[in-house]
Structure 1
């Protein structure tokens, strides 16, 4: 993973801005922890197709003795990856990214990724960056790589574009419940564009109802797909239909469909205080393999 130095290396911290020529080396770093790095890997794979600039962010790297040991995607979300493997020094990588982030100032809406890297980065940035709105410091990272342990809901399927009029409001309700504010920014805005894209790509799953109060009973998306991992996001059951086991059977259906034609390993992360959701995922067959953290601004 030797680097061609397209930009100046900070000799003190070992950090520098990477370019398109570094993408293969950056993906190799992510491959050391495919579940923890799936959010970054998805952005890098997109950058391979369109270039880093058009992918909507910067790519930072930490280099030691000519070898790339850590990367950080710096876009709307900041996603650090600093695997603790072999003789790598993740703390030095995190310090390098913190120095670059301090120079740039906060431009992201969140820090998200493996808890060690995110919390280490936030601990270094907190004195100089504006205060966080919320810090979710323990989000179990869970995976399943075999058939689900419960029967799949036969009514859960991929959503269709002609259902966007119902799917989009359900996504907005879920996001608002989870994060505390609405992501909606009007017709054709970034959130609608993302939801539409997931539907178009076959990465949005729903169970529909005839109930006009809650046309979408259950929903989930494959929010990040990269490196042989599909990360489930946005799992939601309409309040009118909760308490009926829809989440377990719905997730089983998503797992079956995703493992059949998207990726062999299905992952997700969940807030540690959401004991009910964790128990439901365990019943489906998910097991914890690590921990994420999210800092919301």
Structure 2
């Protein structure tokens, strides 16, 4: 029992010694850090350029965002904040830049006082590199271009849409420097993928603008996609064949006299379509030009209710009597 108590006492003393040592070590470390941060350092801080008071009709046409490296002299405490966030310099184009031809020119000696205000009185600016920024600009123009829908839509069996997919709007304004928007002929939507569709389509879809045109803007970011989806069915008619441009002194016999036509339409419009809505024609002059021994029939559909139609036969044989 006595041995056990003695062992616990020794362990307790050792533990307290370690705690005291750790405390003194931490205090020494903090004193060292404070001492170091109190010293004066010379460091270079990168600043990303942002523009303000840029005329509404102008746009900077640089391929990348410019930066300036500002070398400063200050206490370590002041430098801490610059290591935890990106620094931005608001370049006042109207007041701190001059215009030369089609570029703005910024001189560090003219704009450094704004940097000085941003950094504070406790920071001394040693140098700014580069000391000159050349900022070419273009005049904003507007070009209206069509929108191209990128879609893959699969309807459920027996369902379809009579009208084409409707886009609102179907064209859009591209805004940017004239020399850049000149190359834009259309703008694509983001991909629209729909499967097993039975109900009407009504959704908003974003527009996809290649990253190479990051300086250009669109008049809006999304468009509306609409389509009425209906139950569809197929019907068939036997349509008579008509021969065009047959001379009065020529008599022919041709076969078949009728061709079966299958057509695809909304179930709601099935009874509204009649054989008279379809015409099949063969042109005698075409046979004379081509020298073929058969006619090539052409199908004419005179009903907007029919989505598609096709003939079951694509040749009409004939003989001259």
Query: So what's the TM-score if we normalise by structure 1?
Result: 0.19
Larger Rg: 2
As a proportion of its length, which structure holds more strand?
2
Higher relative contact order (CA 8 A, sep 6+): 1
Query: So what's the TM-score if we normalise by structure 2?
Result: 0.18
